Structure 1
Amino acid sequence: MSARLAHSDLLARIRPDGYSEHGFALDVGGVEQSHVDLEDPTVIRHEYLRRIAHVVDTAAEPGAPMHVLHLGAGALTLARYVQATRPGSPQAVVEIERELPGLVTSALPLPRGTDLEVRIGDAAQELAATGADGSARSGGRGRFDVIVVDVFSGQSTPAHLTREGFFADVLGRLSERGVMAVNVGDDAGLRFFAAQARALDAATEAAGLAGAWTLADEHLLRSLDEGNLVLAAGPGLERSRGADPEGLRERWLAGGPHPAAVLDPAETSRLISAIEEDAHGSRPAPRPR
């Protein structure tokens, strides 16, 4: 199945993954964006999504329902994961491509019992319309326990979704146990990642939080190679770390995928500074990915 996406004018196509009869991939513009295992939604192929799933699991005890907001739909891989691991969790997704959620759910039905509200629009605008207490457009369910930011237009992240003000709005919609996870795709040198991490770090400081964690492939961080990194922040991480200072790192490292690296807020800050020092001079400014 396929559909032309009006906002980006790209072709979205759902195809068998070539590995199993119940595995499917979503391609947008000829690039694989998401993967779904219809038989077992806890199977997550893309490494960065597996790291985000570990962050999601931090927000509550195993099996406990959570209120989750997904900024960016993809193939609804994480929404399926949440329903499979935490049945009955109220979820919402914001997607700017009007045709995409219908294509995905028609070709790849959601697990039975999934409670998912679909909103079409710009992620920042829809987040602002939610209201500081999460009540407007969220069924009166209060603030979100998890907000996942995985937003692309074509192959780029819209610039206004990479700035301090946007991250401040995301943090402001989190519950006391809430966590946010941001997917950052970047070229070698990781300059765009550094800019985005710096913006999130500033937003956490303004919110009275310690800063942002980084989850990524160990080799990627050592070589500053191209790839995907996950930034994580929120009051839920502060509470978890307060009870067990090394517990978060150990848990996320153990979860993989391997080789895994987990940087705490202080280490993330040092990485940002190292990237900025390396990039100092006449190199082009970072571009959204």
Structure 2
Amino acid sequence: MGKRKTEAAPMPGRYPVDMGEVELLRDLDRPQGWLLSTSGVPQSYVDLEDPTYLDFEYVRLMADVIDAIEEGPLDVVHVGAGACTLPRYVAATRPGSRHIVIEPDAALVQLVRDQLRLKSVPRLKVRVADGRTAVGGLHDASADLFILDAFSGATMPVDLATAEYMGDVARVLKDSGALLVNIADGKGLAFARRVVATVRGTFRHVALLAEPGILRGRRFGNLIVTASPAPLPLRELSRKAAGGLTQARCVYEEDLVKFVAGAPPIRDGDAVITPVPPPELFG
């Protein structure tokens, strides 16, 4: 018998991709921890030995929502996955899950395959396409979970935040399925309010999770929206959010109406001002 081929260790450095350049950095505190960043903006963190280790606070909030879904394997669509932190997490915590990862940057996908052992994630398929085109080709009622975590730099693309796109996402979700959206916003939260208004216009049940300082618009950061045609486990989500390292809040029902504060939904063609993080945020 031949010797088993040893996987090459990832190589830190800067790598050209289709949409610019990314940097791969080793975590000096965790031997198998790696950070992927774009233009100085942290995009993904993975631990190649422990896929259940989640370094980013907002990713832990997303994992709290995933953990609250009924037990068992899931059919998951990921729009924008970076180094595929959440596909790895779901594969580890829910064996047998199937993943469709949609990512427009073919060179980035190849980098993650070559350097960060993407092939080790079972039942994962990557479709190199933009989020709107690829989702339009997915079957009706085919997903238990739809994760929208797509960014251009530090900003969510507006064309993935419109009512028309959310309608297509709703079509792909099963009646019991859940949507997870990662938004970044800062002072005033004008963009986040419009995205939440858009999701509320499509889904009957919606909740928002974030740290109190971010919810009050005091600092730039990530807010997680979850939505479903079916009732959400609000008590469990509130408990998990408050009990985690981030001590976040879960906002829903009348409090969510107050958060939106009459902001209009985003529609295709609308002029939308997207938030820009303060220059010192990632310094």
TM-score between both structures, scaled by the size of structure 1: 0.82
Q: Distance in 1 between matches of 2:152 and 2:121?
A: 30
Q: RMSD across aligned C-alpha pairs, in angstroms?
A: 2.2
The residue identity in structure 2 corresponding to 1:81 is Y
Q: Distance in 2 between matches of 1:288 and 1:120?
A: 27
Question: CA 1:146–1:159 in 2, change beyond 3 Å: closer, same or farther?
Answer: same
Deviation at 1:223, TM superposition (A): 4.4
Question: CA 1:103–1:189 in 2, change beyond 3 Å: closer, same or farther?
Answer: same
Report SS of the residue matched to 1:199: helix
Q: Distance in 2 between matches of 1:112 and 1:96?
A: 21
Asked if the contact 1:59/1:145 (under 8 Å) is kept, the reply is no
The residue identity in structure 2 corresponding to 1:53 is A
The residue identity in structure 2 corresponding to 1:181 is L
Q: Which residue in 2 is equivalent to 1:280?
A: none
Q: Which residue in 2 is equivalent to 1:32?
A: 42
The question of 1:261 aligning with 2:249 is answered yes
Of the candidates 257, 260, 272, which is equivalent to residue 272 of structure 1? 260
Q: Which residue in 2 is equivalent to 1:3?
A: 15
Of the candidates 227, 230, 236, which is equivalent to residue 221 of structure 2? 227
TM-score between both structures, scaled by the size of structure 2: 0.84
Asked if the contact 1:180/1:233 (under 8 Å) is kept, the reply is yes
Q: Which residue in 2 is equivalent to 1:178?
A: 177
The question of 1:74 aligning with 2:74 is answered no
Report SS of the residue matched to 1:130: coil
Deviation at 1:47, TM superposition (A): 0.8
Asked if the contact 1:182/1:231 (under 8 Å) is kept, the reply is yes
The residue identity in structure 1 corresponding to 2:147 is V
Of the candidates 124, 127, 132, which is equivalent to residue 116 of structure 1? 124
Q: Distance in 2 between matches of 1:24 and 1:115?
A: 22
Report SS of the residue matched to 1:214: strand
Task: Map Cα deviations across residues 194-214 of structure 1 (whole Å, 9 max, x no partner).
Answer: 11111111112xxxx13x200
Deviation at 1:92, TM superposition (A): 0.8
The question of 1:48 aligning with 2:58 is answered yes
Asked if the contact 2:57/2:246 (under 8 Å) is kept, the reply is no
Report SS of the residue matched to 1:124: helix
Structure 1 residues not aligned, in runs of 5+: 134-142, 277-283
Question: CA 1:126–1:37 in 2, change beyond 3 Å: closer, same or farther?
Answer: same
Aligned residue pairs: how many? Answer: 258
The question of 1:16 aligning with 2:26 is answered yes
Larger fraction in helix: 1
Task: Map Cα deviations across residues 19-67 of structure 1 (whole Å, 9 max, x no partner).
Answer: 2211110011222111011121111011111111111222221xx1110
Report SS of the residue matched to 2:225: strand
Q: Which residue in 2 is equivalent to 1:249?
A: 238
Q: Which residue in 1 is equivalent to 2:111?
A: 103
Asked if the contact 1:36/1:75 (under 8 Å) is kept, the reply is yes
Q: Which residue in 1 is equivalent to 2:138?
A: 130
Q: Distance in 2 between matches of 1:70 and 1:214?
A: 19
The residue identity in structure 1 corresponding to 2:16 is R
Q: Distance in 2 between matches of 1:113 and 1:152?
A: 23
